[in-house]
Amino acid sequence: MLDHQLIDRLGELCGMPGTYFDFAGDPVTIKTEYKTPLLMAMGFDMSTNDSVQKTIEEVHAKKWQTVLKPVTVVHKQKELAVELCFESAKRPNRLELYITLETGDVVTHQVNLAPVAVKETATVAKTEYAKVDIVLSDCLPLGYHSLTVSGAGLSAEGSLIVVPEVCFEPEAMKQGKKIWGSGVQLYSVRSQRNWGMGDLTDLGTLTGELGKQGADFVGLNPIHALYPSNPLHCSPYSPSSRLFDNVTYLDPEQVAEFAGSESAQSLLAQPENRALLVELRATDYVEYDRIVPLKMQVLERLFEEFTNKHLGQGSDREQVFQAFCQERGEKLDQFALFDALFEHFRKSDMNSWGWRCWPEAYHSPSSPSVQAFAEQNQPRITFFKYLQWLVGQQMQAAQQKAKDAGMMVGIYRDLAVGVDSNGADVWAGRDIYVLEASTGAPPDALGPQGQDWGLPPFNPAVLQERRYQPFIELIRNNMRNCGALRIDHAMGLFRLWWCPNGNTENRGARYGCYVHYPLQDMIGIIKLESHRQQCLVFGEDLGTVPEEITEALPPARFYSSVMGIFEQGEEQFTLPSAFKTKALATLVCHDTPTLRGWWECKDIEVMRALDIIDDKRVAHDTVGRELSRKAVVNTLAAIGELPDAIDPLAGHSPAYSRELMEGFSYYLTLSASQIAGIQLEDCMMIDSPVNLPGTSFEYPNWRRRLTVPLEEFFLMEENQRFFRNLKGCRNAV
């Protein structure tokens, strides 16, 4: 049996605390034995006490024998200090610091080390080591630089990232301007011209029309790359890649090649395809397995047109495409190669879900078999690059429509917390992921068993060794062609709940523990990229939120989250004036019922029908929901937004109505939060959720469509009046 003290010691060195505070604020002690499989997942030998002791010594020694960390992040308006380690007996008197800026310029510092105080010491193999902080000039420019340190018997090199004090904000929001907008699951959008799922042309319509109504943003579900060859894998929160985009959102008819492609036009003109599109536009749920194959066929013909007219011709359009490929570089090459391989193996085996199903010779991008495949399939790989280029162009066009319509922010994108372990990101960068663990959430009142999302976490040690480059690329790529980025599960910047995988009985969320990440470093990178991309940042900080996150986000102008239906007190909800100021406030989200569904207990009905909850829980939750409805009535009465037909003293809550939806929405937009988000599905009085957490095939997650086409929705007088009132509420507070 392993010594628990040794396990706990190694856990501490690897960022695994022994306790945490749960959702109710009560301390929870993590069982020591839960750490063992996760330490093994990190690659440590946990077979014997001797092997654990040896690992502790190696990790401890590396911490002290490394002169300069691989990467140091320093924040403006704080002391720009770099930590150095050296043997105490060999402490040099002077140091030379060479900072090579990202521009190529070199800044030199000479440091007299004699008066610098030692902040910490430790003994490794009978040798004492010391740590000191070297203060740099506060005139260093923002950016990604490199630092070389040399002195008598001392030499080291590392990255130096200088970041701003806060994230980017539009000037008006710095001055306290309050804005509103709408959130939407893009695939759910219904229009008279799309192919049965919302696309990027619909997004342009949304930004343009809502901009005319006074809105300043349209918020999206994650639009990360999924699997074109496996369209039924449709969860936006389980993507193949977070570095690239979902090509099924393309509108083929808006691609430049469509006008000149008789082949693509004739394909769409075929009677069976015309009939199919009519049928798909009328469905209540997105039928990905019928939409995506047709869309891909048309896109293939557009690529043929592009190949014939532009590739190798030196045209302006080819030059723009080649510039895109060069800018996105090796990551784009690997991603397109993955999609080509996925398609290849999927054709021969419909159960091939990703790279783990492929022959072992194809498990690495650099393997001879993969390289041979790449040489033989360059046209197909170029096709997948072409699709990514088109998505960027259509996203940029939608963002431009937002700006043309007067939107301050425009599109805001959503960064999912992780990626599918079978997908492109993991295949191309297995070393930065811990594949024998998955992220999730600890047990709480809503989920007594906890949550296991099945997504492999970043290895924090490898991230630092890689100088945060994977994280930098992730943030940068998701800030393209938008005005804001929402970070899903922002607590993951500080810690993630790791769940053990494997074939043991002690697997899943109940047997997990937290693993810490370098919070200030990761926030710093987000701050720097947000300024470079002129991108506002929101953080989804709901659930079990540690104090460190609560204290770190507001000073960084990292907008927090408020969920209206979670703001209930005993007899009424939090008054609008008491909402967080620097926050994105919504009433509901993709993981909750719609407003109507919440009011009418449709979520409780669905969960009971699926045996997720029992009759006792139904009775308890139904009583609680009635109290919630009465609290809404009390709150709307208190702020003067209760519809005239409703008696606040009635014994029972009223039936749901358009007037109640509007009143509750005005409650939100009258709040102190600078950003208020209204869901389009609530404007349409939809009662079914778009996603039911904890289910997969039991419920049609990520498929339910909106009920009213955009062309009709924006012509409806009641919606125009509602939007005018929302704008008035924002201007009144």
**Residue 612 banded pLDDT, cuts 50, 70, 90:** confident
Measured CA to CA, the distance from residue 599 to residue 686 in angstroms comes to 11
pLDDT of 140 above 80? yes
Residue 622 has pLDDT above 60, yes or no: yes
| The two three-digit tokens of residue 451, written as one number | 């949550």
Does residue 557 contact residue 642 with C-beta atoms inside 8 Å?
Answer: no
Arithmetic mean of pLDDT, 24-40: 92
Residue 598 token pair: 């919440």
Place of tokens 């060479």: 98
Q: Are strands 583-586 and 675-679 parallel, antiparallel or unpaired?
A: parallel
| Cα distance between residue 678 and residue 349, in whole Å | 43
The SS3 of residue 657 is coil
What confidence score (pLDDT) does residue 361 get?
A: 98
| Dist CA 15 CA 18 (whole Å) | 10
In sequence order, the 6+-apart residues with CB closer than 8 A to the CB of 60 are: 13, 122, 124
Mean predicted confidence (pLDDT) in 121-146 = 93
d(CA 457, CA 494): 13
Averaged confidence pLDDT in the chain: 95
Q: What share of the chain is helix, strand, coil (3-state, %, to 5)?
A: 45, 20, 35
Q: Is 467 left (phi over 0), alpha (psi -120 to 50) or beta?
A: left
Is the pLDDT at 505 greater than 70? The verdict is no
pLDDT digits (tens, 9 = 90+) for 351-408: 999 999 999 999 999 999 999 999 999 999 999 999 999 999 999 999 999 999 999 9
Of residues 543, 540, 545, 587, the one with CA closest to residue 681: 587
Measured CA to CA, the distance from residue 600 to residue 605 in angstroms comes to: 9
Task: Check pLDDT > 70 for residue 526.
Answer: yes
441-464 tens-digit pLDDT: 888 766 667 889 999 999 999 999
**Interior CA angle at 350 toward 345 and 352, to 5°?**
55
Which residues lie closer than 8 Å to 348 by C-beta, 6 or more apart? none
Query: In this predicted structure, what is the pLDDT of residue 506?
Result: 67
pLDDT(10) > 70: yes
591 pLDDT exceeds 80?
yes
- From 185, 357, 133, select the one nearest 701 (Cα to Cα): 185
pLDDT tens readout for residues 57-78:
999 999 999 999 999 999 998 8
Tokens for 283?
A: 């469905």
**Residue 498: phi, psi to the nearest 5?**
-95, 130
pLDDT at 539 > cutoff 80: yes
CB-facing half-sphere around the CA of 214: CA atoms within 13 A: 19
DSSP classification of residue 581: S
Angle at 515 between CA 564 and CA 3, to 5 degrees: 140
Q: Is the pLDDT confidence value at 531 over 70?
A: yes
The pLDDT value recorded for residue 18 is 92
pLDDT value of residue 25:
85
What is the DSSP secondary structure assignment for residue 458, as one 8-state letter? B
Residue 463: its pLDDT value, please? 97
Q: Which of 85, 96, 101, 109 is nearest to 162 (CA)?
A: 101
3-state secondary structure of 704: strand
**Cα separation, 237 vs 54, whole angstroms:** 39
CB 523 within 8 Å of CB 51: no
pLDDT at residue 450 in the model = 82
pLDDT digits (tens, 9 = 90+) for 639-673: 999 999 999 999 899 999 999 999 999 999 999 99
- Second-level CATH architecture of 77-163: Sandwich (2.60)
Query: How long, in residues, is the chain?
Result: 733
Q: How far is CA 206 from CA 3, 364, 384, 506, in A?
A: 60, 41, 27, 47
Return d(Cα 288, Cα 267) in angstroms, integer: 19
Looking at the chain, the whole-number percentage of residues with pLDDT higher than 90 is: 89
Q: Are strands 484-487 and 410-415 parallel, antiparallel or unpaired?
A: parallel
Residue 271: which pLDDT band, with cuts at 50, 70 and 90? very high
Nearest Cα to Cα of residue 657 among 632, 676, 638, 639:
632
| Closest to 218 measured CA to CA, from 696, 678, 642 | 678
Strand order in the sheet with 560-563: 536-539, 484-487, 410-415, 217-220, 179-184, 675-679, 583-586, 560-563
For residues 120-135, give the mean pLDDT: 94
Q: Which two tokens stand for residue 673?
A: 């939060």
What's the rounded mean pLDDT across residues 21-48?
92
- Any residues with CB less than 8 A from the CB of 242 and at least 6 apart, and which? 222, 224, 225, 415, 416, 419, 425, 474, 477, 478
Q: For residue 696, what pLDDT is reported?
A: 82
Given a contact cutoff of 8 angstroms between Cβ atoms, the answer to whether 636 and 663 are in contact is yes
Q: Which residue has the tokens 């609290």?
A: 631
C-beta of residue 325 within 8 angstroms of C-beta of residue 378? no
> Residue 503's pLDDT band (boundaries 50, 70, 90)?
low
Per-residue pLDDT for 679 more than 90? Answer: yes
Report the pLDDT averaged over residues 543-554: 90
Tokens 């008066």 locate to 115
Q: Which one-letter amino acid corresponds to residue 450?
A: G
Looking at this protein, which amino acid is placed at residue 717? E
Domain boundaries, the chain: 77-163, 569-733
User: What is the distance between the alpha carbons of residues 626 and 600, in angstroms, rounded to a whole number?
Assistant: 9
Helix axes 271-282, 262-269, angle to 10 degrees: 70
pLDDT at residue 576, rounded to an integer: 96
Give the number of other CB atoms < 10 A from CB of residue 366: 8
pLDDT greater at residue 22 or residue 558: 558
